[in-house]
Amino acid sequence: MKFFVTLAAVMLMAGTLAAQAQTKTPPVRRAVQPKARVVSTGATMKDGFLMKDGKVLETRNAHTGAITAESALVNGTKVQPDGTIMMADGTTVRLQEGDYMSLTGRMTTRAMKAEQDSLQQVQIMKAKGKKKR
């Protein structure tokens, strides 16, 4: 009789252990490496037209190449492969080395860029060091 009681107790314990073994534990979360970003190794340019080495380069959607035919902009400005630009109001301008024109028709000359850079340098120089009281 003792044998049957002991056997029943052992079976009950085995059943509870088996029930515990069948419960699922949540999977261990592992760190995931972030996706690699595309990094440009060279100089990049905003979308628009740039005169460089006597050629007019056009950048659209991060693709740059020399233009071979006349391009029209949204405001009516036309850019020709030789660097001649006919504005929407009829005036004609020629791109010089380093001049840039955005796709909206805004022109930035090399002198304007140099002036902006020098103004930024002045702002940086003013910000350095202790402030006077």
Residue range 98-114, pLDDT digits in tens: 899 988 888 888 888 77
Q: Is the model more confident about 48 or about 41?
A: 48
Average pLDDT estimate for 15-27: 63
Q: Are 64 and 57 within 8 A, CB to CB?
A: yes
**Alpha carbon distances (Å) from 54 to 46, 66, 84, 116:** 19, 10, 12, 24
Question: What mean pLDDT is reported for the chain?
Answer: 79
Q: Is the model more confident about 27 or about 7?
A: 27
Q: Is the per-residue pLDDT at 92 higher than 60?
A: yes
pLDDT, position 8: 73
Q: Is the per-residue pLDDT at 131 higher than 70?
A: no
| Predicted model pTM | 0.54
